[in-house]
């Protein structure tokens, strides 16, 4: 395929800055890049953002990105981190993208935790009450333990300080898909025909490689799974991220 358009999708509590290192790499290679965001994620933390995000669903975010893709002249390759990787899978199952690169993708409907740390995270959410009605922010200790665990403490604080609040409904749909009556993150595998590259950091505690691999395996030959040694959930922001971006570009150029 000729050089494609690249669309970067960020994770929960975030905005396009978390994908900026990768976007810079791809733009330096001459590719056209876009970094759309989900509804209300451009608002600063505060009452307006809280009320706007309360009750927002992953389905809303998928609708936002679908509308953006309709403005493009061609199907892009989507590079998504965490929630962005999950949204890329939903877009792929609808035939809206040419390929997807999934960086520590959030789990889809039917993916069961394989580690005690994942189960502990789910129990933590259950212990705080009806969080799906709220708009939670980031807890530094939790984020440092699960998502930034291979980074220097200073960088952990820098990233945490830039992250924002997120719809509790979105977090509910991610972690408790089995109770989601709308089955928001369900993939229709009978319609899936888009190549996907799953990149899984070996030290990711949010979606560890053992869990990510079970998700990738559901796609059969459509999916390529690669475990990246020594990397955490936010590995696109880690040192030497250009090497990871190069790996993505090399895979894209094989399509």
144-167 residue pLDDT tens: 999 999 999 999 999 999 999 999
With cut-offs at 50, 70 and 90, classify the pLDDT of residue 246: very high
With cut-offs at 50, 70 and 90, classify the pLDDT of residue 135: very high
Give pTM, 2 decimals: 0.97
Q: Does residue 1 surpass a pLDDT of 60?
A: no
- 147 phi-psi bin (left φ>0, alpha ψ -120 to 50, beta other): alpha
Q: Locate the DSSP E strands across 58-106.
A: 77-81, 99-103
CA-closest candidate to residue 74, choices 23, 4, 1, 26: 4
68-124 residue pLDDT tens: 999 999 999 999 999 999 999 999 999 999 999 999 999 999 999 999 999 999 999
Give me the count of residues in the chain.
255
Domains of the chain: 6-252 (3.40.50.1820)
């Amino acid at each position: 395929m000729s050089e494609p358009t690249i669309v970067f999708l960020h994770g929960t509590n975030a905005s396009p800055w978390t994908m900026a290192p990768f976007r810079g790499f791809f733009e330096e290679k001459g590719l056209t890049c876009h970094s759309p965001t989900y509804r209300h994620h451009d608002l600063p933390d505060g009452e307006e953002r809280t009320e706007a995000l309360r009750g927002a669903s992953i389905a809303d975010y998928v609708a936002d990105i679908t509308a953006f893709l309709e403005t493009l002249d061609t199907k892009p390759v989507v590079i998504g981190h965490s929630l962005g990787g999950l949204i890329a899978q939903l877009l792929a199952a609808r035939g809206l993208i040419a390929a997807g690169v999934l960086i520590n993708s959030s789990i889809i409907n039917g993916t069961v935790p394989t580690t005690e740390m994942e189960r502990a995270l789910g129990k933590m959410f259950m212990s705080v009450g009806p969080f799906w009605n709220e708009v939670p922010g980031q807890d530094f200790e939790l984020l440092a333990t699960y998502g930034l665990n291979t980074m220097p403490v200073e960088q952990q604080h820098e990233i945490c300080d830039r992250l924002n609040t997120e719809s509790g409904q979105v977090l509910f749909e991610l972690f408790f898909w089995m109770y989601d009556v709308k089955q928001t993150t369900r993939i229709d595998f009978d319609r899936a025909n888009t190549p996907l590259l799953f990149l899984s950091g070996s030290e990711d505690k949010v979606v560890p490689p053992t869990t990510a691999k079970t998700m990738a395996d559901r796609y059969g030959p459509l999916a390529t799974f690669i475990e990246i040694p020594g990397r955490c959930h936010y590995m696109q922001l880690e040192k030497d991220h250009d090497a990871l971006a190069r790996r993505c570009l090399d895979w894209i150029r094989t399509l």
